[in-house]
């Protein structure tokens, strides 16, 4: 089974689970735990989207679309803004030189915005990568970004 087949099967399973979900029937603690699990999945998939989007840009597959740029093409395909896509592409570029941040992002430890903030700061000062990763475990995103 290919990576594509496996991810498609996973998404189909998630869709089936969520289409039957009745949040009002969950206890508070169960809702909180489910929120945590969904967030972890969202983070892992965001990392995948970021890395694969970079490959779409590099491969030039977008050029046949007539879009002005890879960011415009990907934004159209994913239903998001060009700015959001461009930020992701820049993050993917930076992650190539930041293995600890890339690993944390792929593992679902970092949200997309946390990965972007750390990659942006660590690109300017690579010695800050590990301290920023440590801070991301305890600080809010605002505190991390302001650092």
pLDDT tens-digit map of 93-128: 999 999 999 999 999 999 999 999 999 999 999 999
Could you tell me the residue ranges of all domains in the chain?
26-52+81-146
Q: CA 59, CA 55: separation in Å to the nearest integer?
A: 6
Model pLDDT for residues 48-89, shown as the tens digit of each residue = 999 999 999 999 999 999 999 999 999 999 999 999 999 999
31: its two tokens: 């809702």
Residue 32 zone, left/alpha/beta (φ > 0; ψ -120 to 50; rest): alpha
């Amino acid at each position: 089974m290919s990576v594509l087949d496996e991810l498609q099967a996973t998404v189909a399973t998630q869709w089936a689970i969520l289409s039957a979900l009745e949040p009002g029937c969950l206890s508070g603690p169960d809702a909180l735990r489910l929120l945590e699990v969904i967030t972890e999945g969202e983070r892992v998939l965001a990392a995948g989207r970021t890395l694969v989007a970079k490959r779409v840009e590099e491969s030039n597959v977008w050029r046949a679309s007539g879009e002005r740029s890879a960011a415009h093409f990907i934004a159209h395909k994913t239903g998001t803004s060009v700015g959001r896509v461009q930020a992701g592409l820049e993050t993917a570029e930076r992650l190539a030189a930041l293995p600890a941040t890339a690993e944390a992002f792929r593992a679902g430890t970092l949200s997309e915005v946390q990965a972007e903030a750390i990659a942006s700061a660590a690109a300017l000062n690579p010695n800050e990568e590990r301290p920023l990763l440590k801070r991301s475990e305890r600080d809010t995103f605002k505190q991390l970004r302001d650092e």
